Amino acid sequence: MNSLSSHCESAGVRARVPGLALLVLVSALAGCSSVPSVGGLASMVTPYRIDIVQGNVVTREQAAALRPGMPREQVRDILGTPLLASVFHAGRWDYVFTFRRQGEELQRRKLAVFFRDNLLERVEADELPSEAEFVSSLDVKTQGGRPVPLEATEEQLKRFREQNPPRSAAVAPTEPAAAPPTSYPPLEPAGAAR
C-alpha cells in the first residue's frame, strides 16, 4: 500500500507540473504585452552620466597675468603644465579644456601660447570665463544657476570667529612629550649570515 500511495502522489505531481508550467508561461506572456517596445523603454529610462571635466582650466584672470617676454617657467607657474607640447612645435604650448554635462552642449575652450627664444611672444585664446563664472558653471544643478560667492562677508567672518575662538598660548600640555629614542634595534638578527 505504501508503494501504491507514493505512485499516486508522484502521478498527481506529474499532472500538476505541466499545468503549473503553462500558468507561468501564460503569465510571462501577459506581462510582456504590457511592456512598451524596446525603443519606448529606452526613452523612459536614461542612465545617469557624470559631468566630465578634462584638460587645463584657464580663466580670464590667468590669461590677463601673461605678459610678452615672460620665461617659460613663469608661464608654467601661471597656467600649469600644458596639455599639448609637441616636439615638432617646440615654441608652442596648447591648453585645451572640455566640459561635458548630460543634456547640455559640450563646452570647449583653447588657449595657445607661443615662445621665441624661450620667452613668451604672444597668446591666442578663445573667450575665457572668469574664475567666478567657471565655478558657478560647475555647480549649476545644486546652486540653481547662481554664482558661488568666493569671499566671506563680514557677518560670516564674525560668526566664524565667535564659533572658533583663538587658542590661548598660555595653556601648557599636561604631560611633557617623550623624547624620541636615540638608539634603535637592529633590523636583522646579530647572527644572520648574508
* Domain ranges for the chain: 52-143
The reported pLDDT for the residue numbered 168 is: 67
With contact defined as beta carbons under 8 Å apart, do 106 and 98 qualify?
yes
Any idea what DSSP says for residue 182? S
26: cell is: 501564460
CATH code of 52-143, in short, is 3.30.1450.10
Q: For the whole model, what pTM was predicted?
A: 0.47
Residue-level pLDDT, tens digit, the chain, 194 residues = 555 555 555 555 555 667 777 777 777 766 655 555 555 555 567 777 777 778 888 889 999 999 999 999 999 999 988 877 777 888 899 998 888 877 778 888 899 999 999 899 999 988 888 888 887 777 655 545 566 677 888 999 899 889 988 876 555 556 767 777 778 777 787 776 65
With contact defined as beta carbons under 8 Å apart, do 91 and 139 qualify?
no
The reported pLDDT for the residue numbered 143 is: 46
Give the separation between CA 131 and CA 123, rounded to whole angstroms.
19
The reported pLDDT for the residue numbered 134 is: 80
- Strands 107-116 and 119-125, by their bridges, are antiparallel
